[in-house]
A and B are shown apart, each in its own frame.
Chain A
């Protein structure tokens, strides 16, 4: 950010007299605002798309009344959520009750900071990018747990406890499934991981096709991440047919809206992480967006990245409208007896592969065979 500020000060003579820290701060606020707008738009549109996909899959039409073909439905929903009465149960822990949605929302929103949207489009290219994402998305569980506890409702409490158990358990397979990408790139920075997948191999340069273990890693990550973000079939914390609505049963208005937004934010984060770590991020086969002029290169790579990420989001919705829900003990069994051992085996496999074949993937070896 500071480097960008320096270049900005150099480029614009008007800013010469302004202290550097002020410019940096201003830039930070602007970038944060841009990301917030993007996140909110995505979450709004995401809710619309979710309902449209649900409609298509369930032989219905879906929302089609607000705006052309129902496109403005999410605005109507948003306005409704903002205008609704903000109810706080009489016996709730008022402070925690009010605080909980912010934890959940901040947890998912903060992860957007390190999302590599394009060649140069990243709010902060942290050198611990993946670690950072894992850390801040864990904040969501605090929000959910607080919401469940402070509502003073037994269903909400059960939902909160389920969420805590679930997210803590699934952190491990999620982390373990992402490490192969880190090993291949040799860096925790998401931008570096994406760059490591570019090159002349095109689609086969992606980590997904690097070797059999990374291929499985992708599916393991995708499954575990769905569980970590409470998507169906792992939506136990809110399980509307069992716990009525789980941890957010007592929430209304914009506080409920924040939980709702954080859910979609998590969905997007999972999609971006799987895109960046396994599907080549903003890379397209046989074309280096970095060679284009800055603005066009970034716009192009942004488009590619979003297309991939949205495809992943669509797949998540597709899964969501197909599968039933696991039971809580089965969920734990799946984490500890299936996903954790499998991700460890995978990690071991990838490490051995990298050691034996000197970091080369199968496509690279085949390519070298043909010269």
Chain B
């Protein structure tokens, strides 16, 4: 007697998701092994955007590397710029004027808002609601206008310099920043009403790809992905750098409000709430910013002392750590960059077991990965 499975043998199907796929956020390739709609294994295949950024760092000077950090995470170029500047300053022990630090914090937090807006927008678009994406883009344009005003470009800012920033805020910049914050703050509630608490949206995200706190720490997740699991770890608080200790803000963590702690919805809500905290920081920074120079005296032929340094800063996608070895010449001897998105890819295979194809999209979106950061 033949059983049913003998008569109708089934087998698993291997599907290639990406590198050209609308919701892999770039050129991520995921090799899916599925049983119908259920994914039995999803292996991320990274490397399609490798440009050798770390190697480039060894052949250009410290100042010349600044524009390349724009390309590290093009949605948060300000944060990467500043991370590089802070790392080099830590290596060479350069005192940075206070006004420059305030300007850096303002642009970093504005960039965090614009980056989280893209994360929010593209995530909703992945979930099938296209409208919030365009609302997010609309608000981001205002941030881009501000950045265009302060540094002259809309995407690759190249604003920070070793020892300060490239230019002081033009007249009217701080007022416009305040105007933007007043305009933007109520929009967050609108997003929540429009999509965040929508029944379908909550159902798509809640209890999907739960990462317990211990596991998140064990896999080295950072940033909103770690905080989504309820771990209140934020480098701006726990390892303060720049002028962050002067500001009052709270670390947003996932609460498991609609499902299990550490699910996709928590990671999503952490980003939404972080935008409010960033608004708070920018408001304080704009109010407190002192006058003064914005660029320390750094010799044109900049040669840091021999030594090595690891500096990490809180970028929108987690910790961006810069490990730098200097041999005393004008070029770095070795440069290694640690990024949040790359680390998130490690846990991807583990959390996607047994999910559906639509959930794979939800997981990719909830990690808010960006490919140039993964591949560098």
Contacts and interface: CB of A to CB of B under 8 A. Distances in A.
Contact of A232 (B15, B128, B198, B361): B128
B23 interface: yes
B129 A327 contact: no
A43 interface: no
Interface residues of A, number: 29
B219 interface: no
Contacts of B358: 239, 242, 325, 327-328
A89 interface: no
A235 B128 contact: yes
A324 to B, nearest CB: 4
Contacts of A329: 37, 356
Interface in A159-179: 161-162
B125 interface: yes
Nearest to B134: A58
Q: How large is the interface on B (under 10, 10 to 19, 20 to 34, 35 or more residues)?
A: 20 to 34
A44 to B, nearest CB: 22
Contacts of A326: 200, 203-204
Interface string B109-141: 000000000000000111111110011001000
A324 B356 contact: no
Contact of A158 (B37, B126, B138): B37
B305 interface: no
Contact of A327 (B131, B134, B195, B359): B359
B22 interface: yes
B21 interface: yes
Contact of A240 (B13, B22, B37, B135): B22
Nearest to B38: A329
A162 to B, nearest CB: 8
Interface string A230-268: 001101000111111000000000000000000000000
A327 B128 CA distance: 10
Nearest to A233: B200
Interface in B122-180: 124-131, 134-135, 138
Contacts of A310: none
B337 to A, nearest CB: 30
A57 interface: yes
Interface in A289-323: 321-323
A233 B199 CA distance: 12
B361 A324 contact: no
Contacts of B22: 240-241, 244
A330 B127 CA distance: 13
Contacts of A54: 130-131
A206 interface: no
Given A59-B138, A240-B22, A241-B22, A324 B124 contact: yes
A84 interface: no
Interface string A52-63: 001001111000
A161 B357 CA distance: 13
B23 A241 contact: yes
B201 interface: yes
A328 B200 CA distance: 12
A323 B203 contact: no
A154 interface: yes
Contacts of B357: 158, 242-243
Given A241-B22, A328-B356, A330-B203, A322 B129 contact: yes
Of A58, A242, A322, A328, chain B has the most CB atoms within 10 Å of the CB of A242
A117 interface: no
Interface string A33-77: 000000000000000000000100111100000000000000000
Nearest to B32: A154
Contact of B128 (A57, A239, A244, A328): A239
Interface string A281-294: 00000000000000
Given A58-B135, A244-B21, A328-B37, A323 B129 contact: yes
Contact of A241 (B194, B203, B361): B361
B343 to A, nearest CB: 25
Contact of A324 (B15, B37, B135, B200): B200
A336 B195 CA distance: 25
B207 to A, nearest CB: 12
Given A239-B128, A242-B357, A323-B198, 10 more contacts: A58-B135, A59-B134, A158-B357, A241-B126, A241-B128, A244-B21, A324-B124, A326-B203, A326-B204, A327-B203
Interface of A: 54, 57-60, 154-155, 158, 161-162, 232-233, 235, 239-244, 321-330
5 contacts: A59-B135, A59-B138, A232-B128, A324-B128, A325-B128
